[in-house]
Structure 1
Amino acid sequence: QALFWLGCRWAVSDRTTLEASVGEDAIRSVSPDVTFAFGLRHRW
């Protein structure tokens, strides 16, 4: 899970604070797999 969290932090590192906040909420509200996939697609 450590790598998962690092990936999420890295995915939102290039975004604004607002987008990062939305990402944080998403991480808490959906399953890890879905959040991880969303993070990868959102970064691209």
Structure 2
Amino acid sequence: MYRVTDPDEIADGLQQMLNEWYADTGQLIQEFRDTYSQDSSAEINP
């Protein structure tokens, strides 16, 4: 069943989901860098 919804309400929800996705992805990227930059520096300078 469909109902009329305020477009701004939908856009705000989408923006919130996108912001959360960017925050989660940024955290995962930082964890990746932290984990593997330590490993690679150990291999370069034993």
TM-score range, shorter chain: 0.3 to 0.5
TM-score by length of 1: 0.34
TM-score calculated relative to the size of structure 2: 0.33
If asked which structure has higher relative contact order (CA below 8 Å, sep 6+), I would say 1
Which protein has the larger Cα radius of gyration, Structure 1 or Structure 2?
2
